[in-house]
Amino acid sequence: YPAINKPAGVLHWLKHSKDAENVDWVVILDADQIIRGPIVPWELGAEKGKPVAALYG
């Protein structure tokens, strides 16, 4: 399949997937990332319409 950018792919999924209608949280990771513990959205400050991200640098 052709490569597309991540924001466009997520937007397409949100608009066209029935599964997307039934989720409370979406975690977007790169292919080279490893989850080393639980992801608790509210502990990270996430709210509906308020995304959070990792600090870089």
The predicted pLDDT at position 53 comes to 86
Half-sphere exposure (Cβ direction) of 54: Cα atoms closer than 13 Å: 8
Q: State pLDDT tens for residues 1-57.
A: 566 688 888 899 999 999 999 988 888 888 888 899 999 999 999 998 888 988 777
Q: What is the pTM of this model?
A: 0.66
How far is residue 54's CA from residue 30's CA, in Å, rounded to a whole number? 12
How far is residue 21's CA from residue 18's CA, in Å, rounded to a whole number? 5
